[in-house]
Structure 1
Amino acid sequence: MTTERDLKFQNIHLAELHIDRAYLSSHWVTQRDDKLQIFCKAWPVKNSGRFDKNSFFLDWDTHLISCPNQVSIPFEPGKIVHFPQNECAICPLRSGCTNSKRGRTVSIHPDEALMQELRARQSTAIGRQDLRKRTTVEHSLAHIGHWQGNRARYIGLRKNLFDLRRVAVVHNLHVIARMDKVRPITPGIESNSCTG
């Protein structure tokens, strides 16, 4: 792939990925090594006011999921867990968990361990602060998208990648120009700009 080849050519190793949820299924995430940190908002977990997935404990060593009433059954990432109907029927916490006659089900994301990590991180002040760094990226992408438009100008990946990089360079030059305008001038220190 072009991006991987570029990173290798520049001897750059990714330490962090600040992405949105659309990229959680990309090979950058699914085939990542343990050193790569992912910063992304996790998919929201809801259950109409009843116990949501966060109320269940997933033991990654034994691959057992435990409900709030301590009933444990095996789980597999990417599958749906069906708690036993007879256990749910007599459960004292049933009204806060499910109204299904078949018992409670919980969907396990194929990369559920990452989802748990993301949810835990975004529940902390530092984690939310890290997620806000993405705002700068989103604004830059919006500017580039505005200038470039939403259609490819050329036929072929190589030419369109060159066009994207051209627009990104123009955006970076605009950012640098704005930085020079907002930088305060300290009295007694000459400006770097030349006058002719």
Structure 2
Amino acid sequence: MLTTADRLFYDEGIRVVGVDRLISESSVTKATFYKHFGAKDTLVLAYLAGRHERDVEAMAALLDQDVAGADRVRALLDTVATRLQGAGFRGSPWVNAAAEFSDPTHPVRTAVAEHREWLTDALVGLFKDAGHAMPGDAADDFLLALDGAESGAYCGDAIAATASLRRAADRLLGA
């Protein structure tokens, strides 16, 4: 069910995909769906939790690489570039989810905010390791550039968006 939800929510949007379709495409019974999730919003939160866990694992893998400092930020850029230019890229699942839930107090928006807080903290660590004098500002700037690159890659030219993100990172790193 979560695999199907991940695919459909990311590819088509959360609100447009109904429970009946999720049930049908995941080959589970309605009773099974309601037993495990109770409601679509619970499944949406599980989808976002799965996305968050994958991002945490990817960051941990990056930190386990034998690189440090600015090279670690550049390794992150390589990972992001692959994602932005990959087949089926449809923007940030986090920005997409936030766009579909306008109420800032909705649990989905809370999950998005918590993920972004985690990501900002991780970026602060990367820029601190890179010796940036103001790692918090650098993390904020990089995250904003990442948001733009993800939107630009989805709506326009993924190669240009990736190149722009790299230039922004180079400026932040003082290159």
With the shorter chain as reference, the TM-score category is: under 0.3
Calculate the TM-score normalised by the size of structure 1. 0.22
Q: Which has the higher relative contact order, 1 or 2, with Cα contacts under 8 A spaced 6 or more apart?
A: 2
Calculate the TM-score normalised by the size of structure 2. 0.24
Higher gyration radius (CA) = 1
